């Protein structure tokens, strides 16, 4: 009996240790290239963090995107519509998908607003960003990397700009980080990024991260069917912006800041999404194109619009010239303060 009891006890202890070992978070970041699905999945400890989508067969996708983006505690911070609609979502701006990088006026072409909702007569005004190739990708402990190239195409299919992007994905317990370093190179044409409010790095966020509003909106059901709602239910909608300069709420729009954080409670969990602007970027500290309805974007090039004409940039490149933009998107679980956001920003700056 004693022998049998000892064996059972040892077995229970061993099994418990095995289970605990399986549940230990190692923050392993693993990248998997799914060529058939035209995407690269980024996993943390086997769970999806985000995917780099580069499909050219999906009509609504006119650029490369990161979609979805999921926090460490399992909250999907990005809107599902139009790729995977969720009940209660708004259905405006079908070109707002996941996280992206583009601009609204490049030599007169609009790379921001393009989607399958564009009327035929306006398609000649739209540019498309198409993935070219994966240069390299690496998995590792707490860090993974992806290097890609893409082409900013004119309506006739010729290349206006070459893009080279280096993504770095970090995982540390309650934190998920995406660094995006993008270099744009002019080819044979001079390039003019005319001051425009539609830019440049953006995320379209889940409904719960929006600022509460009583304005009529159009919502989606699980099948993508649209319904206009005059009286809006804002239950669970409690997003709130805070900038590095101490500006809060909807007032962050059109203001300069080194970083802006958007915080919310989803279910019973606190989540914070921060976009950080590198001091090396053109126009630093950037202006913010951050709206209450879920668009969260940093735009360093739209200075005339955001300053009411007091400033004007009209950034340009000569043939063969390049410019590099570097940003960090950080998702942090838990209730955090302005001082803690600033600490995270300083880590980015010192990186």
Whether residue 272 lies inside any domain: the answer is yes
Does residue 182 sit within a domain? yes
Q: Is 35 a member of any domain?
A: yes
Residue 116 confidence (pLDDT): 87
Q: What is the DSSP code (8-state) at residue 26? A: -
What pLDDT does residue 21 have? 45
| Reported confidence tier of residue 144, pLDDT bands at 50, 70, 90 | very high
For residues 107-133, average pLDDT: 94
Mean pLDDT of 279-290: 98
d(C-alpha 192, C-alpha 105), whole Å: 8
- Say if residue 68 is preceded by a cis peptide, omega within 30 of 0: yes
Q: What is the pLDDT of residue 88?
A: 83
Residue 265 within any structural domain of the chain: yes
Q: Six-digit token pair at 4? A: 């049998």
Percentage of the chain with pLDDT > 70? 88
Region 85-99: what's the mean pLDDT?
A: 90
Determine the average pLDDT of the residues in 261-265.
97
Domain encompassing residue 169: 31-350
What total number of domains does the chain contain? 1
Domain at 101, CATH number: 2.70.98
Provide the b/e sequence for 170-189 (b: ≥16 CB within 10 Å).
Answer: bbeeebbbbbbbbebbbeee
Look at residue 162 and tell me if it is in a domain.
Answer: yes
Q: 58 versus 36: which is more confidently predicted?
A: 36
Please indicate whether residue 87 or residue 154 has the higher confidence score (pLDDT). 154
- CA angle in degrees (0–180, nearest 5) for 61-128-151: 115
Per-residue confidence at 19, pLDDT binned at 50, 70, 90? very low
Q: What is the pLDDT of residue 179?
A: 98
pLDDT at 229 over 80: no
Span 79-102, average pLDDT: 92
Residue 3 lies in a domain: no
What is the token pair recorded at 31?
Answer: 């990248």
Residue 248 domain flag: yes
Q: Give pLDDT, residue 232.
A: 65
d(CA 147, CA 136): 5
pLDDT digits (tens, 9 = 90+) for 266-278: 989 999 999 999 9
Indicate if the pLDDT at residue 216 is higher than 80. Answer: no
- Rounded CA-CA distance 109/120 in Å is 15
**Structure confidence at residue 227 (pLDDT):** 57
Q: Is residue 175 part of a domain?
A: yes
């Amino acid at each position: 009996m004693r022998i049998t009891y000892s064996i059972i006890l040892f077995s229970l202890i061993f099994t418990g240790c095995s289970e605990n070992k399986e549940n230990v978070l190692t923050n392993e970041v693993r990248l998997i290239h799914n060529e058939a699905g035209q995407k690269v999945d980024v996993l943390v400890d086997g769970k999806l963090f985000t995917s780099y989508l580069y499909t050219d067969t999906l009509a609504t996708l006119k650029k490369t995107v990161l979609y979805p983006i999921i926090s460490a505690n399992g909250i999907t911070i990005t809107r599902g519509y139009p790729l995977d609609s969720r009940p209660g979502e708004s259905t405006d701006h079908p070109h707002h998908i996941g996280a992206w990088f583009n601009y609204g006026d490049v030599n007169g072409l609009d790379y921001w607003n393009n989607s399958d909702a564009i009327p035929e007569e306006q398609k000649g005004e739209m540019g498309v960003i198409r993935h070219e190739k994966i240069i390299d990708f690496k998995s590792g402990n707490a860090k993974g990397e992806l290097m890609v190239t893409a082409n900013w195409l004119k309506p006739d299919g010729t290349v206006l700009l070459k893009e080279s992007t280096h993504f770095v994905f970090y995982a540390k317990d309650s934190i998920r980080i995406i660094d995006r370093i993008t270099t744009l190179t002019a080819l044979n044409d001079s390039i003019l990024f005319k001051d425009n409010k539609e830019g440049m790095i953006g995320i379209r966020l889940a409904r719960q991260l929006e600022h509460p509003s009583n304005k009529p909106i159009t919502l989606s059901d699980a099948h993508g069917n649209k319904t206009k709602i005059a009286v809006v239910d804002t239950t669970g909608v409690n997003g709130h912006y805070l900038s590095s300069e101490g500006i809060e709420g909807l007032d962050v729009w059109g203001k300069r800041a080194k970083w802006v954080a958007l915080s919310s409670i989803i279910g019973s969990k606190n989540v914070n999404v921060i976009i950080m602007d590198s001091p090396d970027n053109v126009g630093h500290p950037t202006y913010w194109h951050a709206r209450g309805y879920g668009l969260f974007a940093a735009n360093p090039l739209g200075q005339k619009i955001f300053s009411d004409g007091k400033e004007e940039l009209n950034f340009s490149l000569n043939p063969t010239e390049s410019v590099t933009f570097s940003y960090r998107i950080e998702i942090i679980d838990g209730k955090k303060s302005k001082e803690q956001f600033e600490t995270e920003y300083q880590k980015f700056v010192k990186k």
